[in-house]
Copies of this chain bind each other. A is one copy, B any other.
Amino acid sequence: MAADGRPAVFPLPPGSTIGIVGGGQLGRMLAMAAARLGFRVAVLAREAESPAGQVSAVEIVGDYGDPAAVGRLAAQSDVLTFEFENVSAAALAAAEQAGAPIAPPGRALAVSQDRVEEKSALNAWGLATTPFAAIDGPEDIAPALRRLGAPALLKTRREGYDGKGQAWIGGAAEADAAFAAIGARPAILEAKAAFVRELSVIAARGRGGEVAAYPVGENRHEHGILRTTTAPARLSPALQADALRIATTLLEALDYVGVIGVELFELEDGRLLVNEFAPRVHNTGHWTLDGCEVDQFEQHIRAVAGWPLGPTAPLARVEMSNLLGDEANDWAVLAADPKARLWLYGKRDAAPGRKMGHVNRLSPLT
């Protein structure tokens, strides 16, 4: 519902309020993109002067899981969106009760919150994943290992990110320790994917059902945390088309509105497996900030506001590097590098591994 109590009508005109649940860097860059298009932004953040709150007209401080706080945000927003997928069902219900349209749809959030549900849904939509098994207790691990082979990766079903809540299992003897290590919670065991590259595709679907995808990026992770994305990745037209087919299938199956990030494994035989998807703008899409006329953040705002999607053609080849923890202390060196486009997130505390900013380095398309 609009701030004035009337139901939202799309496309939302400039001056409408975009509500963002989450005060981090994704919310910050979404807020800046919304401002570029003349929108007003309200955010719900855990702390005052959050990265997103610093660049928004309104910052509500509260917990993302608190239905009252989400409801307060929704009540003054013409549309509500999210910078992360772990939004509680109660919070979504509160937003719906406040009458704010939600994008992406709650179902996309719910499916992505549970790795077993996510992979099951992907398979049901005809999208290949690595083989997996649901693990409810340590006694499920030995039979699953016999089917999936060892080593296999044990992950919590819910709420893991950036490599947290994960443990490799080399054999059945390690089952108890691994299950304890991830917090003895409902889990998934995933077969090791014999991938040659990690790729991702960032795509968007508008309120009219139109789909636009950016060129595929090639990713390098360390300790479960993204270090670099290079895009457009050098890959065959067939692979590019396959990535687009996967993204389109997902977006349509979820009746999706907004930007989605889909992580892929490229196998030796050229097949693509879906590793996971994130129903939001995605770290592997930060290259678009300097590599495309319309970046993933503006694209997401366009989609959720019911605007036409923008062009996704690359203007340059970009290598995006995350600045983790005290790597952001190198800001002076990076600022002096004419090839480095620096983005910093306004975070005060540079805890180890924390994403403090990123750098895009451009080179000509060849």
Contacts and interface: CB of A to CB of B under 8 A. Distances in A.
Identical chains in the assembly: 2
Interface in A29-86: 31-32, 35-41, 49, 53-57
A267 to B, nearest CB: 35
A121 interface: no
A344 B31 contact: no
A14 B332 CA distance: 10
B293 A14 contact: no
Contacts of A35: 28, 32, 54-55, 346
Interface residues on A, range: 35 or more
B57 A341 contact: no
B15 A346 contact: yes
Contact of A15 (B40, B302, B348, B362): B348
A304 B264 CA distance: 43
Given A36-B342, A38-B344, A293-B362, 11 more contacts: A15-B348, A35-B346, A38-B328, A38-B331, A38-B345, A38-B346, A39-B346, A55-B55, A55-B56, A290-B293, A307-B335
30 contacts: A11-B332, A11-B335, A14-B328, A14-B357, A32-B35, A32-B36, A32-B55, A35-B54, A35-B346, A36-B344, A38-B328, A38-B345, A38-B346, A38-B357, A39-B346, A40-B54, A40-B346, A41-B54, A49-B57, A53-B57, A54-B57, A55-B56, A55-B57, A293-B341, A294-B341, A302-B335, A307-B332, A310-B338, A311-B338, A315-B315
